[in-house]
Amino acid sequence: MGYAQLVIGPAGSGKSTYCSSLYDHCQTVGRTIHIVNLDPAAEHFDYPVDMDIRELISLDDVMEEIGLGPNGGLIYCMEHLEDNLDDWFDEQLENYLDDDYLVFDCPGQIELFTHVPVLRNFVEHLKRKNFNVCAVYLLDSQFVSDVTKYISGCMASLSAMIQLELPHINILSKMDLVSNKKEVEEYLDPNAQVLLSQLNRQMAPRFGKLNKCLAELVDDYSMVNFIPLDLRKESSIQYVLSYIDTCIQYGEDADVKVRDFEPIEDED
């Protein structure tokens, strides 16, 4: 059985930085992971790329040859990947062992993980290849500085959760850049009544019913909560990684390794 993280989130949320820090952490602790680039528009990496979609198709080529814009070109590239899952992608997967750990660095276009079925079909293909997959949704912690932005982030995360149908972990990235961490920490596991009160103070009275429905949606399902990630702290990275490993049952089916030792002879 293989293991995989699908790293998603809005553009600029720190997905590639997360992958780079995760790779460095695993190198430090003597653990092997493989980073896969699924962004056809990516140019620079701070980590070694073990598999790269740009070997199949790149956004620049699509925009030049077909005349599509950046957004349409990105969708075209991902649909081209979907069409080549049984060929190019399966050939790439043959380079990895059954218990390898892959981390997929995905594009930041929100349509890909909210309503376009490309990533969902990609995930289903991984499952058929006997991979345990977890979605890791990154949201910039500076984005949740007030309740309206927090609700917006929750709705986007919930859309991805419903679309992908995977074990799902939400991470507040860039906590090292937050000056007042108390403002962010209150949104890690918020109370619905507090959310509603804050929404009503910031928005016009005519939005009262909408605010109540949104606050209840977040509270009733208890599905959207966030884990803070401070990349300056190894303990923070290890905590997030342990949380993800639990979700995908990493290592639970590993065989117990038994070593043979020579018996110690009694000294006269």
Per-residue pLDDT at 105 exceeds 70:
yes
76-90, 174-188, 198-212: range with highest mean pLDDT:
76-90
Per-residue pLDDT at 137 exceeds 50:
yes
In a domain? residue 263: no
Find the angle CA(174)-CA(177)-CA(182) to the nearest 5 degrees.
Answer: 95
In a domain? residue 130: yes
Distance CA 36, CA 52 (A): 6
pLDDT band at residue 198 under the 50/70/90 scheme: confident
Instruction: State percent of the chain over pLDDT 90.
Output: 53
Q: Quote the distance between the C-alpha of residue 115 and its chain's center.
A: 17
22-26, 64-68, 198-202, 219-223: range with highest mean pLDDT:
22-26
Least trusted range by pLDDT, from 114-128, 138-152, 156-170: 138-152
In a domain? residue 235: yes
Find the angle CA(73)-CA(74)-CA(76) to the nearest 5 degrees.
Answer: 65
**What one-letter code names the amino acid at 232?**
R
Domains identified in the chain, total number: 1
Q: Quote the distance between the C-alpha of residue 223 and its chain's center.
A: 16
In a domain? residue 107: yes
Which positions ≥6 away from 225 have C-beta within 8 Å?
170, 188, 189
pLDDT for the residue 257: 47
Query: pTM value?
Result: 0.88
pLDDT for the residue 265: 56
Q: Sheet with 131-140: list strands edge to edge.
A: 49-52, 34-37, 101-105, 2-8, 131-140, 168-173, 226-228
Q: Average pLDDT, stretch 189-215?
A: 86
Tens of pLDDT, residue by residue over 49-61, are 999 999 999 999 9
Look over the chain and give the mean of its residue pLDDT values, rounded to a whole number. Answer: 87
Phi, psi of 6 (to 5 degrees): -105, 105
257 compared with 100, residue with greater pLDDT: 100
In a domain? residue 265: no
pLDDT for the residue 146: 80
Tens of pLDDT, residue by residue over 14-51, are 999 999 999 999 999 999 999 999 999 998 888 999 99
Contact 19, 35 (CB under 8 A): yes
In a domain? residue 21: yes
Distance CA 173, CA 242 (A): 16
Domain encompassing residue 119:
2-141+150-180+223-248
Give the CA diameter of the chain: 92
In a domain? residue 258: no
Instruction: State percent of the chain over pLDDT 70.
Output: 93
| CATH at residue 169 | 3.40.50.300
In a domain? residue 203: no
